[in-house]
Amino acid sequence: MPLPSLKGKQVILRALGSDDAPALRELADNAVISRFVSYVTQPFTLDQARRLIDLAESSARQDRGYTYGIQIAETGLLAGMVGLGEVNRKDRHAALLCWLGQEYQSRGYATEALHLILRFAFVALRLVRVHATVHETNRPSLRLLERLSFVREGILRKSCLVDDRWLDMHSYGLLQEEYRGTGLDRVESA
């Protein structure tokens, strides 16, 4: 399925292209992002950025994942990525992913990007469930999911190694009916 652009007031979600590789490399080459995002390492090279963009394109073509670039509406600059992975059409669920370059965090951009991607998931793709797994120490991410009404469903003990320490991951889920209960499906986009 071709990736439709999703417009919010502060951010626009759009397909990534090969021209985005240098900006993506610069944004992702960061210690905090590599600690919390499984497919980002540090250093993060231009070649890795190109492969990530190719993977996003092929996943969308095969209906396996929908990964967007988060673009700041005012400046047109790329700020990060948000998307749905592991799309399962039969059982109608997918996994949420999101990260922003450090200078774009704590400004409300992630909140708006997640509103847009959740509407895409529950309304356009008609998924029944979206899930996310978050490191126990990733406070901004835990706060963001809880603010969006995600329910903590379990703890995956010792499921990642961070700075030589085994950490638990918290598993969160949001169901279509819970999403509709938030009223976010009726909020107008820009």
The residues binding ligand COA (CB under 6 A) are 32-33, 36-37, 98-100, 105-111, 134, 138, 140-141, 143-144
β-strand partners of 190: none
Other CB atoms within 10 Å distance of the CB of residue 132: 21
To ligand COA, the closest distance from the beta carbon of 26 in angstroms equals: 15
Peptide bond into 2 cis (omega under 30): no
Which DSSP string do the residues of 41-52 spell out, in sequence order?
Answer: -SS--HHHHHHH
- Residue 3 or 82: the one with the smaller Cβ distance to ligand COA is 82
To ligand COA, the closest distance from the beta carbon of 125 in angstroms equals: 20
Please give the residue whose beta carbon sits closest to ligand COA in the complex.
108
- Residue 12 or 177: the one with the smaller Cβ distance to ligand COA is 12
Residue with tokens 């009726």: 186
Question: Phi-psi region for residue 92, left (φ > 0), alpha (ψ -120 to 50) or beta?
Answer: left
- Residue 14 or 36: the one with the smaller Cβ distance to ligand COA is 36
To ligand COA, the closest distance from the beta carbon of 74 in angstroms equals: 13
171, burial (CB in 10 Å: exposed 0-12, middle 13-18, buried 19+): middle
- Residue 105 or 159: the one with the smaller Cβ distance to ligand COA is 105
To ligand COA, the closest distance from the beta carbon of 93 in angstroms equals: 17
One-letter amino acid at 131 equals H
Closest of 22, 28, 13 to residue 101, by C-alpha: 28
- Residue 1 or 158: the one with the smaller Cβ distance to ligand COA is 158
To ligand COA, the closest distance from the beta carbon of 98 in angstroms equals: 5
